[in-house]
Amino acid sequence: MLMRYRLIELLADGRIHSGQALGRQLGISRAGVWKHIQALEDLGLDVHAVRGCGYRLADPFEPLDERSIRARLETSVAARLHALQVHCAIDSTNDQLKRDATALDDKAFSVCMAEWQSAGRGRRGRRWVSPYGTNLYLSLATKVGETALGAGGLSLVVAIAVAGALQACGLEDAGLKWPNDIYYQGRKLAGILLDVSGESGGPYQVVIGIGINLKVPAAAAHQIDQPWADLSQSGVDVNRNELGAMMINALVQALDRFNEQGFNAFIKQWQRLDLVSGRAVELRHEHEPLISGVARGIDPRGALLIEHDGVTRSYHAGEVSLRLS
Ligand code: BTN
């Protein structure tokens, strides 16, 4: 493991560590420790130098731990887990699973998680700000059948699964903004990015990427270009390893149900979580004028229904971006 990640592990408890003690544990000089400490800011970590005493992290955290995540998986889910990668640093957990060309057997899945992403990707080409050790960055790769995928609704199904797992952690007031943003008190708490590949006719390989804000450090907050929320604001305090395992359990169950029953089985759940229905909205279509109207829920394929001048039309995720007026 690179020196700086060993240093972060030593600091993760949030206590003060002297430069001398850190140097001894790492086998480097105090000046070497100082050099590595300075580099931690590039990872979005707030490190405080306490005069005459040493260094401490502003926000302690529990490092991701593969064994602890595996131990919390449901038996039936663990049996189908092909691989679980946990990285200190990666460009993007979605890209890592896309590069990993292992052909997955039916019903098997792989997971990749990371403490930090250098090139975390959001929807519509945006960046997903991914500071070290505080939030959750998780991707899951699996196969989805032609019938289920063709019928639509997959991204909404994933959002429902993520919101359900967050509610099970004690989060009240979670809601969904079509097609798959998870909101808390009017601000974005979590986002989902789907990468689908495969020959026409299927089956398709789908990489589902989930980013959840648990505690956004001050150093990273100003880089986020939209109103955001994190779990710490809601008073929910959940261990990241536990949350990771809960997400995997919830996703696998939701995907099984989606493959077997299609999107129909999720429509009622969507309606309970829908933050948009009945509200005035604007839709942006590439190279086309803005469409404004009133949201009227979703159709049986998960497309958004918008009423404009007494006419209701449907719009598919991927074609448009939605803004609340
Ligand atoms: C969005 O814009 O709402 C989607 C955000 C998705 C972020 C997650 S973090 C884990 C995975 N890896 C990425 O590069 N993106 C997704």
pLDDT tens digits along 119-154: 999 998 899 999 999 999 999 999 988 877 777 799
Question: What is the share, in percent, of the chain residues with pLDDT greater than 70?
Answer: 99
Q: Is the CB of 128 under 6 A from ligand 1?
A: yes
Distances in Å between the Cα of 160 and the Cα atoms of 78, 90, 105, 243 are: 22, 27, 25, 15
Q: Is the CB of 211 under 6 A from ligand 1?
A: yes
Minimum CA distance residue for ligand 1 atom 7: 211
Name the average pLDDT for the chain: 92
- Ligand 1 atom with the smallest distance to the CA of 119 is 14
Confidence of residue 214 (pLDDT cuts 50, 70, 90): very high
Provide CATH code, domain 3-57: 1.10.10.10
**193 Cα to the center of ligand 1, angstroms:** 5
Mean pLDDT of 49-65: 91
Mean pLDDT of 177-192: 96
Q: Is the CB of 121 under 6 A from ligand 1?
A: yes
d(CA 169, CA 146): 33
**27 Cα to the center of ligand 1, angstroms:** 37
**32 Cα to the center of ligand 1, angstroms:** 34
- Ligand 1 atom with the smallest distance to the CA of 210 is 8
d(CA 211, CA 177): 15
240 is catalytic: no
188 is catalytic: yes
pLDDT tens digits along 18-45: 999 999 999 999 999 999 999 888 888 8
Confidence of residue 105 (pLDDT cuts 50, 70, 90): confident
The Cα angle at residue 84 between residues 83 and 85, in degrees rounded to 5: 115
CB 282 within 8 A of CB 325: yes
Q: Is the CB of 44 under 6 A from ligand 1?
A: no
Question: Across the strands, what pairs with 260?
Answer: none
Residue 178 has pLDDT above 90, yes or no: yes
Judged by average pLDDT, the poorest of 155-164, 195-204, 248-257 is 195-204
Residue 103 has pLDDT above 80, yes or no: no
Q: Which CATH number fits domain 66-271: 3.30.70.890, 1.20.120.1230, 3.60.20.10, 3.30.930.10?
A: 3.30.930.10
* Residue 1: predicted pLDDT: 59
Q: Which fold has domain 276-322?
A: SH3 type barrels. (2.30.30)
pLDDT tens digits along 241-282: 999 999 999 999 999 999 999 999 999 999 999 999 999 999
d(CA 255, CA 273): 18
Q: Is the CB of 93 under 6 A from ligand 1?
A: yes
Q: Which tokens hold the place of 284?
A: 């942006």
Mean pLDDT of 41-57: 89
Domain boundaries, the chain: 3-57, 66-271, 276-322
d(CA 71, CA 241): 10
Residue 321 has pLDDT above 90, yes or no: no
CB 273 within 8 A of CB 297: no
6 is catalytic: no
Q: Is the CB of 179 under 6 A from ligand 1?
A: no
Residues in Cβ contact with 93 at an 8 Å cutoff, skipping those fewer than 6 apart: 87, 112, 113, 114, 117, 137, 138, 139, 209
